[in-house]
């Protein structure tokens, strides 16, 4: 247990999971109703353009987050193993990785839920709606928090 507390990325993981769970709980508590229309005003197919916009935003955040992780970690491999990233970078890097994971899951679940909704095979329920919101906004929040944390560490 003591080794786990000394793990350099622990607070990044705790922060990322806490952000996601908090957003899911907030979404769950503030949503009224049990099922929802994904299409605006019940107009069939209205959500498709929004889905495309949401997926584009998620792809943009994923590209920035994954590029940052690759750049930071990859930059240490070209120095014959003599230079390593400071352990203080572990937590913000984990936040960026959690941002990537949440973003990927958001894209998958949003698309799957819309497909199921279009085919009338499964309703868009409160739990699905709050999960999609938590994954999407959690991805963005973890990305922003990870970058702010990196800036603080790099300039301190």
Range of the domain at 99: 52-156
Q: Say what the pLDDT of residue 80 is.
A: 63
Residue 33 located in a structural domain: no
What's the average pLDDT block by block, 10 residues per block, for the chain (156 residues)? 79 95 94 83 81 93 91 73 78 95 96 89 88 96 95 88
Residue 24 located in a structural domain: no
**C-alpha distance from residue 36 to each of 23, 30, 42, 133 (Å):** 19, 14, 10, 13
pTM over 0.85: yes
Closest CA to 106 of 79, 139, 148: 139
Residue 40 located in a structural domain: no
pLDDT in tens, 24-56: 999 999 988 888 888 777 778 788 888 999 999
Element at 2 (helix H, strand E): helix 2-5
DSSP string, 70-117: HHHHHTTTTSTT-----GGGHHHHHHHHHHHHHHHHHHHHHHHHHHHH
Domains held by the chain: number? 1
Distance CA 65, CA 99 (A): 7
């Amino acid at each position: 247990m003591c080794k786990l507390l000394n793990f350099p990325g622990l607070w990044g993981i705790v922060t990322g999971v806490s952000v996601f769970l908090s957003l899911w709980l907030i979404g769950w508590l503030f949503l009224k109703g049990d099922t929802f229309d994904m299409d605006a005003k019940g107009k069939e197919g209205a959500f498709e353009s929004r889905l495309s916009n949401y997926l584009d935003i998620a792809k943009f955040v994923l590209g920035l987050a994954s590029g940052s992780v690759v750049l930071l970690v990859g930059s240490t491999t070209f120095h014959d193993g003599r230079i390593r990233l400071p352990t203080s970078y572990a937590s913000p890097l984990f936040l960026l990785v959690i941002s990537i994971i949440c973003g990927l899951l958001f894209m998958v679940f949003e698309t799957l839920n819309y497909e199921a909704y279009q085919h009338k095979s499964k309703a868009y329920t409160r739990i699905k709606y709050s999960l999609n919101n938590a994954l999407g906004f959690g991805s963005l929040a973890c990305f922003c928090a990870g970058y702010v944390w990196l800036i603080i560490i790099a300039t301190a």
